């Protein structure tokens, strides 16, 4: 084929992939399709063969009531069936048109009702069908292996339907399909084990197989019956027949069937996790009309087979997973006990690590250092490969054809065509990469996949030859099993758990060390600070009688030194409290406290600060109210809140402190008439070192943070609300005394 022809074929293949198979505008003529507007019960469209097949008068046409087409009684049966809601329970609906008995299949789609009518075929065999189906389902449910499951399915469906050939066709990851089971007439060529190219079933056709359990073509040489009118009268768009049993199929597919020597076919979808896993494909050399009851039985077999495939594959995966449990346990223990990085535990057991994924080589990267075991690419090649793995934006990468994804890997495909890789979420390079060597093999195709479709004139045609065509495959390793993937995923989880455990221990050790350092520093600094305070007092007494300018300067310096020392003492106390709060070791000694006495003591100590700014400070509480709190700690909270209120309330303002009962809690509220706190700052007031407000240059920024911690240690809550220009309110709760 010339390059120009190849380009033309590719262009037509793209066109084929976009073929409007959902809206063919016609049906297969062995039945009739009517679409009905459910609101007015009029026929919107009808297949062109409807009047002839149903024996109707020539003046019946689309736009007329359904009762005009089928008679009032039959139209009533359809309306009643549609009102039940569960159409799968009424399909097929037994209908009569003149002397013709019909199977009616109903479904709703895209705003209209589809009524598909097929003449009833001879069903004298129905009693034996029920027995046959029951026996088949029992055999499927007791099959112990996938191979036995496949064999039962193809043999039973062929015996039920009479098709020349029934096979199971499984889709591969690359899109190709392989025949994995077959029952066929002796004179036919065997397809078992052969591969079929992905282009045989385009993506949009696969999606229709996923949506519909069954698709049937009684005679591939049929002449389509177009819909009349061609477009829907309500939308002026083609009719979407995605779920129609009678939907006409692509002419290319009919040509494909004829080239295979097949006149009739039936396909039953096999689904796993709602994805198309494969097909049961039936073919016959002569036209074959399968009654609806038989089709329903085959569909049931396909549905049960789908469930059994999922169950047995999961069972196989679990057995593979269990077989690796001991290896996983030993590697997980090695990672937990390893010094330094958890991956150091893996490099100490390379044989077990390779056996876990049945690999011929493994590379372990720890903080950029590459450790190789078994048959591996070079250190430089592994480094480049790691960068590619990291670009995949996934925690695990798996392929059995690495060079197809990364052309540079072709340089070492003999030793690493298969790749399985995991990494941990760390800022440094770390990963484990397992390798499998290339396995040069030959794949048997049903015809040459390169010529699956070809040009005849300017039209794309399916291939004419289905003879076995062998292709040598290079750059491919033995595929990783589900058990391999499970094992590697389990190993990564164990590595994450070990690594997180180490991080938690390191953080706990760091917090403990910090707490001990703060405690030691606080203790050791208190003594010299106490000496400084005492010396400052003595110096003040010595120079008090001297009124000279130099003495005044000395007194001022001593005052500054005392204030700085006092602030340092407060900061040390705050840091020690902060450390205890963060470590969860802040202890309190609660007792029953009379709120009135508590307020009286607070008023005595805090009023002088308020009088300096002519602020009206009031304390009000319910009589005989008692709270259960640590007196020293809860006073620390109240004095901090009132002190802040005094500090940020203008002269001649007001501050009110109240206590009330809410349930089993005492609520203490501090309300000021200050400038308030900006809305963007209010959520941050309880954070450490928050002191953004002007006029608080001397604060440590820890007061509110510590206050919240103290209240929390009492089992209460400290909250703040504020309105700029009006004032702020801080509320905290403590338990009511028992």
Task: Count the helices and strands in the chain (H runs, E runs).
Answer: 19, 29
**Rounded Cα–Cα distance for residues 640 and 696 (Å):** 13
> What does the pLDDT read at residue 399?
92
> What does the pLDDT read at residue 10?
45
Architecture of the domain whose range is 591-735: 2-Layer Sandwich (3.30)
pLDDT for residue 385 is more than 70: yes
Confidence grade of residue 529 (pLDDT, cut at 50, 70, 90): low
- Average confidence (pLDDT) over 678-698: 68
> What does the pLDDT read at residue 15?
47
> What does the pLDDT read at residue 451?
57
- Average confidence (pLDDT) over 383-399: 89
CA 512-518-520 angle, 5° bins? 100
> What does the pLDDT read at residue 535?
60
Residues 265 and 257: beta-carbon distance below 8 Å: yes
Confidence grade of residue 591 (pLDDT, cut at 50, 70, 90): very high
pLDDT for residue 467 is more than 60: no
CA distances from 461 to 251, 253, 262, 264 (A): 10, 9, 16, 19
What the block records as the tokens of 42 is 């009029």
What the block records as the tokens of 385 is 């490969």
pLDDT for residue 520 is more than 60: no
- Average confidence (pLDDT) over 91-119: 93
Q: Residue 48: which of 25, 22, 21, 78 has the closest Cα?
A: 25
CA distances from 672 to 144, 159, 616, 618 (A): 79, 91, 10, 11
Considering only 237-246, 373-382, 442-451, 612-621, which range has the smallest mean pLDDT?
442-451
- Average confidence (pLDDT) over 544-570: 60
What the block records as the tokens of 373 is 């075991």
- Average confidence (pLDDT) over 319-346: 87
CA 621-622-624 angle, 5° bins? 110
Q: Do domains 122-220+262-320 and 591-735 have the same CATH topology?
A: no
> What does the pLDDT read at residue 4?
46
Considering only 174-178, 250-254, 257-261, 488-492, which range has the smallest mean pLDDT?
174-178
**Rounded Cα–Cα distance for residues 335 and 435 (Å):** 21
pLDDT tens profile 157-176? 999 999 999 999 998 877 78
Residue 52 φ/ψ, nearest 5 degrees: -70, -45
Count the Cβ atoms, other than its own, within 10 Å of residue 557.
12
**Rounded Cα–Cα distance for residues 315 and 490 (Å):** 17
Domain residue spans in the chain?
21-119, 122-220+262-320, 591-735
What value does the mean pLDDT of the chain take?
Answer: 83
Mind spelling out the 3-state secondary structure of 455-501? EECCEEEECCCCCEEEEEECCCCCCCCHHHHHHHHHHHHHHHHHHHH
Q: Residue 438: which of 478, 384, 378, 379 has the closest Cα?
A: 478
Confidence grade of residue 411 (pLDDT, cut at 50, 70, 90): very high
pLDDT for residue 602 is more than 70: yes
> What does the pLDDT read at residue 474?
65
- Average confidence (pLDDT) over 643-654: 90
- Average confidence (pLDDT) over 636-655: 90
Residues 383 and 390: beta-carbon distance below 8 Å: no
> What does the pLDDT read at residue 16?
46
pLDDT for residue 222 is more than 90: yes
pLDDT for residue 250 is more than 60: yes
Confidence grade of residue 694 (pLDDT, cut at 50, 70, 90): very low
Q: Higher-confidence residue: 103 or 447?
A: 103
pTM of the model: 0.62
Q: Residue 401: which of 389, 382, 423, 416 has the closest Cα?
A: 416
CATH topology of domain 21-119: Beta-Lactamase (3.30.450)
Architecture of the domain whose range is 122-220+262-320: 2-Layer Sandwich (3.30)
Would you give the DSSP letter of residue 198? G
Confidence grade of residue 579 (pLDDT, cut at 50, 70, 90): low
> What does the pLDDT read at residue 562?
58
């Amino acid at each position: 084929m010339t390059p120009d022809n190849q380009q033309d074929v590719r262009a037509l293949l793209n066109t084929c992939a976009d073929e409007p198979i959902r809206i063919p505008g016609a049906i297969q003529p062995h039945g009739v399709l009517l679409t009905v507007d459910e609101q007015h019960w009029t026929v919107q469209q009808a297949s062109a063969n409807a009047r002839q097949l149903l024996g109707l008068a020539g003046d019946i046409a689309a736009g007329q009531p359904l009762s005009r087409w089928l008679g009032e009684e039959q139209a009533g049966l359809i309306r009643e069936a549609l009102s039940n809601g569960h159409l799968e329970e009424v399909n097929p609906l037994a209908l009569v048109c003149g002397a013709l008995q019909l199977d009616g299949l109903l479904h709703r789609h895209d705003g209209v009702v589809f009524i598909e009518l097929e003449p009833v075929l001879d069903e004298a065999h129905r009693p034996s069908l029920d027995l046959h189906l029951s026996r088949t389902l029992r055999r499927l449910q007791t099959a112990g292996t996938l191979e036995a499951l496949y064999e039962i399915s193809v043999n039973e469906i062929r015996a039920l339907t009479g098709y020349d050939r029934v096979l199971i066709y499984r889709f591969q990851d690359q899109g190709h399909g392989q025949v994995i089971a077959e029952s066929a007439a002796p004179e036919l060529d065997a397809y078992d084990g052969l591969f079929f190219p992905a282009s045989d079933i385009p993506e949009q056709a696969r999606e229709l197989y996923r949506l519909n359990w069954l698709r049937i073509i009684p005679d591939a040489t049929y002449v389509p019956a177009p819909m009349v009118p061609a477009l829907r009268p309500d939308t002026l768009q083609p009719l979407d027949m995605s779920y129609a049993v009678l939907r006409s199929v692509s002419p290319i597919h009919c040509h494909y069937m004829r080239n295979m020597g097949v006149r009739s076919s039936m396909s039953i979808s096999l689904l796993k996790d709602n994805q198309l896993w494969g097909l049961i494909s039936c073919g016959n050399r002569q036209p074959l009309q399968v009654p609806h009851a038989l089709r329903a039985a085959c569909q049931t077999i396909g549905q049960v087979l789908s469930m059994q495939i999922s169950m047995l594959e999961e069972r196989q995966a679990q057995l593979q997973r269990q077989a690796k449990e001991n290896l996983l346990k030993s590697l997980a223990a090695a990672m937990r006990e390893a010094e330094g990085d958890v991956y150091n535990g893996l490099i100490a057991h390379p044989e077990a690590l390779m056996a876990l994924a049945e690999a011929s080589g493994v590379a372990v990267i720890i903080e950029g250092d590459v450790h190789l075991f078994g048959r591996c690419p070079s250190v430089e090649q592994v480094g480049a490969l790691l960068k590619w793995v990291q670009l995949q934006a996934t925690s695990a990468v798996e392929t059995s054809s690495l060079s197809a994804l990364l052309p540079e890997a072709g340089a070492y495909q003999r030793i690493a065509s298969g790749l399985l890789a995991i990494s941990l979420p760390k800022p440094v390079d770390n990963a484990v990469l397992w390798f499998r060597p290339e396995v040069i093999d030959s794949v048997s195709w049903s015809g040459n996949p390169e010529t699956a479709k070809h040009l005849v004139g300017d039209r794309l045609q399916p291939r004419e030859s289905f003879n076995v065509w062998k292709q040598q495959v290079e750059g491919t390793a033995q595929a990783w099993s589900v058990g391999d993937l499970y094992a590697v995923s389990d190993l990564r989880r164990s590595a994450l758990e070990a690594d997180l455990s180490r991080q938690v221990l390191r953080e706990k050790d760091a917090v403990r060390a910090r707490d001990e350092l703060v405690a030691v520093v606080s203790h050791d600094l208190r003594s010299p600070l106490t000496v400084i305070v005492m010396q400052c007092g003595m110096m003040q007494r010595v120079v008090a009688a001297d009124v000279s300018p130099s003495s005044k300067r000395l007194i001022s310096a001593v005052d500054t030194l005392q204030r700085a020392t006092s602030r340092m003492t407060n900061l040390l106390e705050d840091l020690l409290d902060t450390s205890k709060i963060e470590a969860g070791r802040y202890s309190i000694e609660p007792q029953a406290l009379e709120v009135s006495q508590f307020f009286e003591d607070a008023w005595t100590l805090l009023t002088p600060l308020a009088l300096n700014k002519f602020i009206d400070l009031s304390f009000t509480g319910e009589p005989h109210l008692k709270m259960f709190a640590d007196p020293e700690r809860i006073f620390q909270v109240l004095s901090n809140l009132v002190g802040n209120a005094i500090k940020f309330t203008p002269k001649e303002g007001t501050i009110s402190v109240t206590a009330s009962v809410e349930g089993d809690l005492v609520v203490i509220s501090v309300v000021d008439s200050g400038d308030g706190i900006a809305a963007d700052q209010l959520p941050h007031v309880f954070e450490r070192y928050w002191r953004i407000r002007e006029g608080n240059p001397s604060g440590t920024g820890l007061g509110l943070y510590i206050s919240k911690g103290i209240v929390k240690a009492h089992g209460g809550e400290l909250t703040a609300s504020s309105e700029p220009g009006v004032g702020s309110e801080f509320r905290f709760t403590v338990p009511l005394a028992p």
